[in-house]
Amino acid sequence: MLDQLVRKKVRARFGGRIRYFISGGAALNPVVGEFFTALGVGIIQGYGQTEASPLISVNRPDRIKLDSVGQTFDGVDIKLADDGELLVRGDLIMNGYWEDPKATAETIIDGWLHTGDLASVDPSEFIRIIGRKKDLIVTSGGENIAPSKIESMLSSEPEIEQAIVFGDGKPWLGAVLIPTEETKLAPNCAALLSSAVQKVNEQLNQSERVRKYVTQEMICSTDNGLLTPTQKVKRDAVLSRNETEIQALY
């Protein structure tokens, strides 16, 4: 009955013969994956980089873990550096950057591509990307926190369009929140945002929780220079734009 009433209608919106969605370019929110899986449409998430031609790993149709980017292919070796960075080796790795031997030497060391991504690998060799190494937040208490997970959770709330988490060298985390247009127009906008943050915080451990936040009216886009061509938020640019308000929080 569920298939007839709901699943069939959803699949019809995508042409009626959809079997899988392919996800890549950024981490898939597990909630999104669970939603479509419940509707009978699987999501196959993969991971790669241009330097790796570009695919490194992918979930298979018969082996899907929604919170992972799957397993590597034959001939691809992976390992984690001491700091948790994912290293990759194999014929898929580029020879080097065009006319940039310095960058090549910094990225490929002893045949291993240093991806710049922090990751974990389970006993079945499914890879989970934690976040970019350069974005890692180290609080004054010594906690290492990857902001991407928290930002994804915040942005999944219907009241929040975009979120940028900060707190490097600080005792606790804060965030820059860009409300949705509907939330901006609501007379209880502040209460809606507060409730959304509280809901997310309840799913996080103590060190990951957002204690305070500032709001930014302008949505990050390529036109205003706050979004890269690949649709990734320019973290430093957003934090610089809101520097005065952020400093006031602490």
Whether residue 215 is predicted with pLDDT greater than 60 in this model: the reply is yes
Per DSSP, what are the bridge partners of residue 177? 163, 215
Position 208 confidence tier, pLDDT thresholds 50, 70, 90: very high
Nearest in space to 46 (alpha carbons), one of 61, 34, 35? 61
pLDDT exceeds cutoff 90 at 42: no
Write down the pTM of the prediction. Answer: 0.86
Residue 221 has pLDDT above 60, yes or no: yes
CA distance 184 to 193: 10
CA distances from 32 to 71, 120, 181, 184 (A): 20, 21, 22, 24
Check: CB of residue 5 under 8 Å from CB of residue 12: no
Q: How confident is the model at residue 30 (pLDDT cuts 50, 70, 90)?
A: confident
Tell me what the pLDDT averaged over the chain comes to.
94
Tell me the percentage of the chain whose pLDDT exceeds 70: 98
- Whether 92 has a pLDDT exceeding 90, the answer reads yes
Q: What is the DSSP string of 102-171?
A: HHHHHHEETTEEEEEEEEEE-TT--EEEEEEGGG-EE-TT--EE-HHHHHHHHHTSTTEEEEEEE-TTSS
Omega cis (within 30) before 171: no
Joined together, the tokens standing for residue 112 give 């291993």
User: Which domains does the chain show, CATH number per domain?
Assistant: 2-134 (2.30.38.10), 137-249 (3.30.300.30)
Q: Does the pLDDT of residue 100 top 70, yes or no?
A: yes
Do 180 and 159 touch, CB atoms closer than 8 A?
yes
Q: Which residue has the higher pLDDT, 109 or 38?
A: 109
pLDDT of residue 1: 56
Q: What gap in Å lies between CA 129 and CA 67, rounded to an integer?
A: 9
Residues 82-90 have a mean pLDDT of 98
